[in-house]
C-alpha cells in the first residue's frame, strides 16, 4: 500500500548554518514520537551532506531540489544525480514549476533527469500542475496528463513504481491560495486514473501523490483526509520546524 509523506521544499532559503539548525530542531521535535508518515526535507545542494549526516538513523530523509540532465562532465555549475546520491540524500524533487518556468526545464530535459535519478537510486518526487489561466479555462486535466506522458510515462512499470508524484497547482504556490480539498481530491483521483490506465490498478494504488501549494498547519488535515491525497510538498511552512511538525501531525 502507498505511503503517506510530508516533504519540505526549502527552495533558496537558509544559509548552511541556518539549515543545519532547522534540521536539528525538526529532528528533536520528531524524536519523542514517531510520525504517522514519511518525512523528507528538500534542502539546497550545499546543505545535503550535513543534513543527511545529522538526520542519519532518524525518521527524516533528505531530498535535493534538482539534479542534472547529464551524467557528468563539462557542465559548469551543475550537480549530477550521482553527486546528490553520494551526499546521503535519497530523494530528488524534479519538475518543480519554478524550475520549469524560470530555468527552462522542458518535458524532454525532465525526462532525462528522472531517468538519471532512478539510475542513481534516487527517488524522484516529480511535480506536475497547471497555471492559473489553464485552471480558469478548465484545462488542468489536460495539462497534468501531458506532463506525465512527456516525462514519466516512458518509464517501465517497475521504475514508475519507484517514483512519488506531487500535484502542485502553480496558482497555489506561495500565494496563500490553496486548492480546495474537493479540487485536490478530484485531480488526484484523475491522476491516479491515468496511472491505472498506463500501468494498471496495482501500480496506481501504490503511487503516493502529494499535494503542494500553500499547504499549512491550518489546512493540512482537511487536504490529507481525501482518499487520493497522500501527503504534501510544503514550501513556506517547511521553513519553521513547528509549522512543519504541525503539518506532519495532520496524519
Ligand atoms: P508553498 O510552496 O507551500 O510555499 O506554496 C510549495 C512548493 O512550491 O513546493
What's the pLDDT score for residue 224? 98
Secondary-structure breakdown of the chain: helix, strand, coil percentages, each rounded to the nearest 5: 45, 15, 40
Q: Tell me the mean pLDDT in the region 205-212.
A: 98
What's the pLDDT score for residue 79? 98
Residue 180 domain boundaries: 5-248
245 confidence band (pLDDT: 50, 70, 90): very high
Three-state SS for 9?
strand
With the most atoms of ligand 1 within 8 angstroms of its CB, the residue from 9, 167, 247 to mutate is 9
195 confidence band (pLDDT: 50, 70, 90): very high
User: Distance, CA 73 to ligand 1 centroid (Å)?
Assistant: 32
Q: Tell me the mean pLDDT in the region 217-240.
A: 98
11 confidence band (pLDDT: 50, 70, 90): very high
pLDDT tens digits, one per residue of 115-169: 999 999 999 999 999 999 999 999 999 999 999 999 999 999 999 999 999 999 9
CATH of the domain at 133: 3.20.20.70
92 neighbors 121 (Cβ within 8 angstroms): no
Residue with CA closest to ligand 1 atom 6: 235
Q: Tell me the mean pLDDT in the region 102-125.
A: 98
What's the pLDDT score for residue 83? 99
Residue 15 CB neighbour total at 10 angstroms: 11
What's the structural domain count of the chain? 1
User: Distance, CA 200 to ligand 1 centroid (Å)?
Assistant: 30
pLDDT tens digits, one per residue of 21-77: 999 999 999 998 899 999 999 999 999 999 999 999 999 999 999 999 999 999 999
- CA geometry: angle at 118 spanning 98 and 162, to 5°? 90
What's the pLDDT score for residue 204? 98
How far apart are the C-alpha atoms of 100 and 89, rounded to whole Å? 22
65 neighbors 93 (Cβ within 8 angstroms): yes
What's the pLDDT score for residue 1? 87
Burial, 101: exposed, middle or buried (Cβ in 10 Å; 0-12, 13-18, 19+)? exposed
Residue with CA closest to ligand 1 atom 1: 235
For the chain, the first-to-last Cα distance in angstroms comes to: 16
How far apart are the C-alpha atoms of 173 and 155, rounded to whole Å? 28
233 neighbors 214 (Cβ within 8 angstroms): no
Q: Tell me the mean pLDDT in the region 180-208.
A: 98
pTM (two decimals)? 0.98
* % of the chain exceeding 90 in pLDDT: 98
Cell numbers found for residue 54: 545529522
- CA geometry: angle at 134 spanning 138 and 184, to 5°? 65
How far apart are the C-alpha atoms of 150 and 200, rounded to whole Å? 19
DSSP state of 237: G
What's the pLDDT score for residue 176? 87
Instruction: Supply the residues annotated as catalytic.
Output: 96, 168
Residue 13 has pLDDT above 90, yes or no: yes
Residue 234 has pLDDT above 90, yes or no: yes
User: Distance, CA 213 to ligand 1 centroid (Å)?
Assistant: 5
Amino acid at each position: 500500500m502507498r505511503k503517506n509523506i510530508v516533504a519540505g521544499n526549502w527552495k533558496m532559503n537558509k544559509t548552511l548554518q541556518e539549515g543545519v539548525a532547522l534540521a536539528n530542531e525538526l529532528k528533536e521535535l520528531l524524536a519523542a514520537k514517531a510520525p504517522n508518515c514519511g518525512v523528507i526535507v528538500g534542502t539546497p545542494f550545499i546543505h545535503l551532506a550535513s543534513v543527511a549526516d545529522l538526520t542519519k538513523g532518524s525518521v527524516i530523509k533528505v531530498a535535493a531540489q534538482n539534479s542534472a540532465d547529464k551524467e557528468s562532465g563539462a557542465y559548469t555549475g551543475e550537480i549530477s544525480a550521482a553527486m546528490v546520491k553520494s551526499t546521503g540524500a535519497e530523494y530528488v524533487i524534479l519538475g518543480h514549476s519554478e524550475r520549469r518556468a524560470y530555468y527552462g526545464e522542458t518535458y524532454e530535459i525532465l525526462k532525462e533527469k528522472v531517468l538519471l535519478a532512478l539510475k542513481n537510486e534516487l527517488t524522484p518526487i516529480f511535480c506536475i500542475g497547471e497555471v492559473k489561466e489553464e485552471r480558469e479555462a478548465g484545462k488542468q486535466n489536460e495539462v497534468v496528463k501531458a506532463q506525465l506522458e512527456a516525462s514519466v510515462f516512458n518509464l517501465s512499470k517497475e521504475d514508475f513504481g519507484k517514483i512519488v508524484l506531487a500535484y502542485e497547482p502553480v496558482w497555489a504556490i506561495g500565494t496563500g491560495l490553496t486548492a480546495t480539498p474537493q479540487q485536490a481530491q478530484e485531480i488526484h483521483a484523475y491522476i491516479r486514473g491515468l496511472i491505472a490506465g498506463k500501468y494498471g490498478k496495482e501500480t496506481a494504488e501504490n503511487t503516493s501523490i502529494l499535494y503542494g501549494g500553500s499547504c499549512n498547519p491550518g489546512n493540512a488535515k482537511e487536504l490529507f483526509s481525501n482518499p487520493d491525497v497522500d501527503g504534501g510538498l510544503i514550501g513556506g511552512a517547511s521553513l519553521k520546524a513547528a509549522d512543519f511538525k504541525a503539518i506532519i501531525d495532520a496524519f
